[in-house]
Chain A
Amino acid sequence: MVRLFGPLVGLFFAVALFWSFGNGAYNAITQPTPATVEASFHMHPKEIAFSFDGPFGTFDRAQLQRGFKIYQEVCSNCHSLKQVAFRDLTALGYNVAEVKAIAKNWGNKAQTFDPKTGDRGERPNLPSDHFPPVYYAGQGAPPDLSLVTKARHGGPQYVYSLLTGYAEQVGYKNEKGEELLKKFPDAKTPDGLYFNPYFANLNLAMPAPLVSDGQVTYSDGKTATVDQMARDVSAFLAWTAEPKMDKRKQTGWPVLGFLLFATVLAYLAKRNIWADKH
C-alpha cells in the first residue's frame, strides 16, 4: 500500500510545485520585479573597530563614560533607556556618590503615585531607579535605546554609521555612481524626514543629532569631534545592551580551558580502553 500511494503523493506534490514554479517563472519574465530605491541605495554599516570586538575585547571604561555623557546631553532629550538603572553606572567606573548625584540631577524626574490620596507627582531619581521614560511631543515616541545595538544588524557599527551617515539627498550618488534622484525621482525625502542611506528605508524622522565638533565637552580632555562622539555613544549603547559582556568573555576562557583539558583526557581514556579491540 505504502509503495503504491507513496509515489502518487510524491508526484502530487511535485506537480503542484512545478505548477507554482512555472507560474513564478512566467511572472518573473513578464513582470520583472522593479528595482527599489532601498536595494540600490541602502548602505551596510561602516566597518569600524571597537575595543570590545572579538573574543578578547573588553569595554573601555573611559570611552563608556564619554559615551554616557553624549547620551546624557544629547540622546536623552528624546530617547529613553528603560532597561538600565542608575546603579548600573558603577560598572562605568563612577563611585556611589557620583551615581547618586547623576540620579538626583537627572532632568526627567521619577513619577510617583500615592495610593492613599490618589495624588501623582514626581521626585528626584534614586540609584535604584531605572532611567525614567521620556515623554516626547513629536511624531510618535522615539525607540528606547537600551537594546538598540542588539536589535539591529551591525550593532554598534550601525549606530555609528547612522549618526555619521546623514547626507544631502540632492546630488547623492552611491558607490556605483548612480544618482538617487535621477534614478528614482519619486523617492525624494518627504518634508519633516531626513535622508540617511544607512537607515533601512533611507528616510528617518530624527535630524542629525551630532552636528558640530565640540558639541559636548569631555571631562577627560579628549577632543569631541563628531566622529569621536559617534564612536563613544555607540560603545556606550553596546554596553547598555550587553552590560555583562566582559564577565561573559572572562568566564568563557576558563570554561573552554577546562573543557579542552577534559576532552584530551577523555580521548586518551577512550584510546586506552579500546586498545585491544581494533
Chain B
Amino acid sequence: MSFPWANEYKPVHPFMRYLDERLPLPRFVYNVVGGGYPVPRNLNYMWNFGVLAGVALMLQIVTGVVLAMHYAANAGVAFDSVEHIMRDVNWGWMLRYAHANGASMFFIVVYTHIFRGFFYSSYKAPREMIWLLGVVIFLLMMATAFMGYVLPWGQMSFWGAKVITGLFSAIPLIGTPLQQWLLGGFAPDNAALNRFFSLHFLLPFVILGVIVLHVWALHIPGSSNPTGVEVKTESDTVPFHPYYTAKDGFGLGIFMILYTLLVFFAPNLLGHPDNYIPANPMSTPAHIVPEWYFWPFYAILRAFTSDFFFIPAKLMGVLAMFSAILVWFFLPWLDTGPVRSGHYRPLFRKFFYLLVIDVLVLGYCGGAPAAEPYVMISQIASMYYFLHFLVILPIVSSIETPQPLPFSITEAVLGKDEHSVLSPTSPAVA
C-alpha cells in the first residue's frame, strides 16, 4: 500500500522495460527506498537509525563471512585461530576489529532506534506489527551477539557462556537436563562452541528475514513522524529518494566516522582484557561481565538476591531479565493515550527521561562488580524499570492532558497549511 500520490516507477531504458515486465525488482526497490515511497517531510535525525541498523547488519554479515573463512570452531584451536586472523591473515586485524566493534555500533544504533520508538510512541496503532517484529529482531540480535562473543574462546567467552547457559538450570524440574542438552555437555566445551558457531552464522540471516517483514509492515501505514499526526495530503510528504537518501547519507557519514575511530584508534576500548586470556575452566575470573550492551539486563538478573516465597532468587532473576524485554511486546496495549508524540505529552515526557536515566544507571551497575552499593542501586533501578512500563505508563496514558497537536505535518513545518481542510466548504485552518 502507499499513498495515492506516490510516484510511479517508469522504466526508460528498453532493457529496464523488458525487466519490469518479467521481474519487477527495480520497481520493488523504487517503491521501498526510492522515489515511490512518500515519507513525512518533517522527520528529524532520530529517523536515521533504521537505515543505519540495516547498514550495521550488512557490515556484520560481510566481515563475518570473511572471518568465518579463517576461523576454526574447535575448542582446541579457536583462540589461536583468532590470533592467526589478527597476525597472519591479510587485513585480518581490520576485519576482526570491524566485526567486534561493528556489534557495538549495531547495538548503539538499535538502542537509539528503540528509544526513538519509546519517545514518539511509534508502537501505537496502526504500527503495532512493526514494533512487535522489531522486538523479535532485538531478541535475535542479543542471541547472535552472545554466541559471537563465545567464539574467540577467551576467559570471558567461556565464563560468560557458562553463566548465561546456567540460566536455564533455574527452570524447575527440567532446567538442568535442558541446560546439558543445549550445551551438549556439563559445561561449555567443543560441542557448545560448534553449535554456537553454527547458530552465530545462521541467525543474522534470520534477522535479515525478519527485517524484510519489519520494513514490509512499515510500508503499510507509512513512516511515523515527530508530530505523531498522520499524513493527510501530498504536501505532508516528500519522496524517500532523493530527500531521505540524502539525509541518511549524511547520518551514515557520522556513523562511519565514529566506527572508524573505534576500529582504528581504540579497537579494544569496549572489550574486556580477560578475553585475551585463553579459556580456562579451572580458573574463574574475578568479575564475570558480558559485553556492554547486555549490562542493563545483567543488572536486572543480579538484582534478585533473596528467594521470594517459594521462588528461588535465581529463577526470579531469570524471569525478570526476560520479562524486561518481553514487556516491550505489550507496550502498544499498556500505553493507550490517543496522542503519539512525546512532544505533546508533558507528563509522559518526564517519565520517559527518567527511564533513559534509569537504563543508564542499570547499565553502569551491570558492568560493575556484584557488590554494594551497586546491587542496591540496581534493585531500585530495576524496580523503576518494571513500574515504568507496567504501572506508570497505563496510569499516565489515562490521566494526562496532552497539549494541542498541529493540524497537519505541513502546518508543523511551514506554520500554515493551505491544502488541508476539514471539509471542502470550511476554510483552511491556520
**A binding-site residues for B, Cβ under 8 Å:** 2-3, 6-7, 9-11, 13-21, 23-25, 28, 33, 55, 83, 88, 143, 146-147, 150-153, 200, 241, 243-244, 247-249, 251-252, 255-256, 259-260, 262-263, 266-267, 269-270, 273-274, 277-278
Q: Answer whether A10 and B391 are a contact pair too, CB < 8 Å, given A17-B379, A263-B257.
A: yes
6 pairs, A vs B, C-beta closer than 8 Å: A14-B391, A17-B379, A17-B386, A18-B379, A150-B276, A266-B252
Q: Choose, from B134-142, B173-181, B193-201, B299-307, the stretch at the interface.
A: B299-307
CA distance A259 to B262 in the complex (A): 14
Chain A residues whose C-beta falls within 8 Å of the C-beta of B263 in the assembled complex: 252
Q: Once bound together, how far apart are the Cα atoms of A3 and B257, in whole Å?
A: 44
Residues of B within 8 A of A (CB): 41, 80, 83, 86-87, 93-94, 97, 238, 242-243, 246-247, 249-250, 252-254, 256-257, 260-261, 263-265, 267-268, 273-274, 276-277, 286, 303-306, 308, 311, 313, 316, 320, 323, 327, 330, 333-334, 336, 371-372, 375-376, 379-380, 382-383, 386-387, 389-391, 394, 413
Beta-carbon contact of A255 and B413 below 8 Å:
no
Could you tell me if A263 and B253 are in contact, using CB atoms closer than 8 angstroms? yes
Partner of B268, one of A13, A150, A262: A150
Per the bound structure, the CA–CA distance linking A245 and B356 in Å amounts to 37
| Residue among B306, B334, B372, B382 making CB contact with A6, cutoff 8 Å | B334
CB distance from B178 to the nearest CB of A (A): 23
Q: A147-B83, A255-B264 are in contact. List 20 more A-B contacts (CB 8 A).
A: A15-B308, A16-B311, A17-B303, A17-B380, A25-B376, A151-B273, A151-B276, A152-B273, A200-B286, A241-B276, A244-B86, A244-B87, A249-B265, A251-B94, A259-B253, A266-B253, A269-B249, A270-B246, A274-B246, A274-B247
Residues in A with CB closer than 8 Å to B394 are: 3, 6-7
Please state if B238 and A277 are interface contacts (CB–CB under 8 Å).
yes
Closest chain-A Cβ to B336's Cβ sits at a distance in Å of 7
B80: A residues at CB distance < 8 A: 83
Q: Which residues in A have their C-beta under 8 angstroms from that of B254?
A: 263
Q: 6 shortest A-B CB distances, which residue pairs? A: A10-B390, A252-B264, A263-B253, A151-B276, A2-B333, A21-B379
CB distance from B190 to the nearest CB of A (A): 21
A10:B389 contact, CB within 8 angstroms: yes
Nearest-neighbor residue (CB-CB) of B414 within chain A: A278
Q: Give Cα A249–Cα B264 distance, bound, in whole angstroms.
A: 6
Given A151-B273, A266-B249, A270-B246; A256-B261 close (CB under 8 Å): yes
Contact A252 B260 (CB under 8 A): yes
A55 contact set on B, CB distance < 8 A: 265
Q: Is the interface of A mostly helix, strand, loop or mixed?
A: helix
Contact A7 B372 (CB under 8 A): no
A259-B260 contact in complex given A83-B80, A150-B268, C-beta closer than 8 Å: yes
A259 to B259, CA, bound (A): 11
Partner of A248, one of B87, B94, B306, B375: B94
Report the Cα distance A21→B243, complex, angstroms.
52
Bound complex: CA A80 to CA B413 (Å):
67
- C-alpha spacing A6/B311, complex, angstroms: 20
Evaluate contact between A23 and B305: CB separation under 8 angstroms: yes
| Whole-angstrom distance between the Cβ of B219 and the nearest chain A Cβ | 22
Taking CB as reference atom, which chain A residue is nearest B80?
A83
Known contacts A24-B305, A244-B86; A7 and B376 CB within 8 A of each other: no
Complex CA distance for A127 and B256, rounded to whole angstroms: 39
Cross-chain contact of A83 among B83, B242, B305 (Cβ < 8 A): B83
Contacts of A278 in B (CB 8 A): 413
Taking a contact as CB atoms under 8 Å apart, the answer to whether B87 and A17 are in contact is no
Q: Which residues of B contact A248 (CB under 8 A)?
A: 93-94, 97, 264, 267
**CB proximity of A5 to chain B, nearest CB, Å:** 9
